[in-house]
Amino acid sequence: MGRKRIEPSNCTIDYLSILDEYGNLDTGLEPEIPPEMHLKMLRAMLLGRRFDERLLDLQRQGRIGTYPPTKGQEAAHIGSAILLKDSDWFVPSFREMAAEIMRGRTMESALLYFNGYNEGTIVPEGSKDLPMAVPVASQILHAVGLAWAAKYRQTGEVVMAFFGDGATSEGDFHEGLNCAAVYQAPVVFVCQNNQWAISVPLARQTHSETLAQKAIAYGMPGIQVDGNDILAVYAAAKEAVDRARDGGGPTLIECVTYRIMMHTTSDDPKKYRSEEEVECWRQRDPLIRYRKYLLQKNLITEQQLIALEEEIKQDIQAAVERAEKRMQELGNPLDQFDHLFAEMPPRLRKHKEALAKELAEAGREAHHG
């Protein structure tokens, strides 16, 4: 009887930073990354940034629909997703475009998706990448289910799930982490803490000093990293992926980063945050930081960077042209009924027939009008 203090194990959270915005490098923590992997990550980050900028331009021109920019967060998802094998599962939310493309998604697919075409969500045969998940935190449950299945079947697969700070306020987040820990599922949870859940700041979402410490309650390792430092993200993700693959269960990684642009193109961030805050984070740009590092390491030259920029520019333009040509061949609204069930249920068949009739009548009226 009585009152006594319980001191659970692992009640401290580490913060990891290896390469800061000023170019200072902690050589003792610098991860060993093969040169070819460095160049792959750089290309993925640069392509992600330029494609992101082009998509924003296309949205403003009315050539795609609502779009959620990813600028400033590339290191958080590239530095972690690079550790996955093709046989592992990649489970995104909706702000991991650079990693999606690195994992094999085509830019044409993204362009179709943001124009409202179902074909933009088709997962290629054999791919272990789930489509974008717009409902906040719902993909966390899917990731845990995949990881639990992988453990049960002893496939050796690792699952990596991405979400934002806003997702940690959802029940799905807590249910997912608890289930993953109980069953020691091989899943790595990567939280891109970009400080804002649309217009709600982090301080209004949680009273916790960090998001990483939420891992403690569920009995799993948690770590907070400088999410704009790709070396720190890589080091933390490697440790987490290796642990998951070796049977050590899940990990929560909090990548402290920032959403430089708007939440989506339907949002005006000037209504809830200051330009001074944004400018402060611009100085911590992950791409600028990484390019300087690679130049100093003689892993790339200025001339190669210029050539890479031109190559990426041409690749993006070619993808836009292919997608817009494809969209001229698509667009039958009836197609939306054909990708939901292996065998269409009677109720859905009635809906399809009703829409077909409505479209036919509208066509006749347009013809006679």
pLDDT in tens, 3-22: 888 777 778 899 999 999 99
Query: Across all residues in the chain, what is the average pLDDT?
Result: 94
Could you say which of 49, 54, 263, 289 is catalytic?
Answer: 263
Q: Do 360 and 299 reside in the same domain of the chain?
A: no
Overall average pLDDT of the 346-358 stretch: 94
77 part of the active site: no
Residue 7 lies in a domain: no
Neighbour tally for 314: CB within 10 Å: 10
Q: What is the CATH number of the domain that holds 141?
A: 3.40.50.970
**Per annotation, catalytic residue among 105, 259, 284, 289:** 259
Task: Give 155-203 pLDDT, tens digit per residue.
Answer: 999 999 999 999 999 999 999 999 999 999 999 999 999 999 999 999 9
| Total residues found in the chain within this entry | 369
Q: How many domains does the chain have?
A: 2
Residues 362 and 348 occupy one common structural domain: yes
Q: Determine whether 234 is an active site residue.
A: no
143 and 246 co-located in one domain:
yes
Strand order in the sheet with 222-226: 14-16, 222-226, 251-256, 187-193, 159-164, 89-91
pLDDT band at 369 (very low <50, low <70, confident <90, very high): low
Q: How far is residue 229's CA from residue 256's CA, in Å, rounded to a whole number?
A: 9
Q: Specify the pTM.
A: 0.91
- How many angstroms separate the Cα of 363 from the Cα of each of 147, 338, 353, 356, 368? 49, 22, 15, 10, 9
Known catalytic membership, residue 263: yes
Could you give the CA distance from residue 55 to residue 64 in angstroms, rounded to a whole number?
8
Domain extent, residue 183, equals 14-327
- The answer to whether residue 320 is domain-embedded is yes
Judgement on whether residues 269 and 359 belong to the same structural domain of the protein? no
**pLDDT tens string 67-111:** 999 999 999 999 999 999 999 999 999 999 999 999 999 999 999
Residue 337 has pLDDT above 90, yes or no: no
For residue range 280-336, what is the model confidence (pLDDT) as tens digits?
A: 999 999 999 999 999 999 999 999 999 999 999 999 999 999 999 999 988 788 888
Among 60, 272, 349, 364, the active-site one is: 272
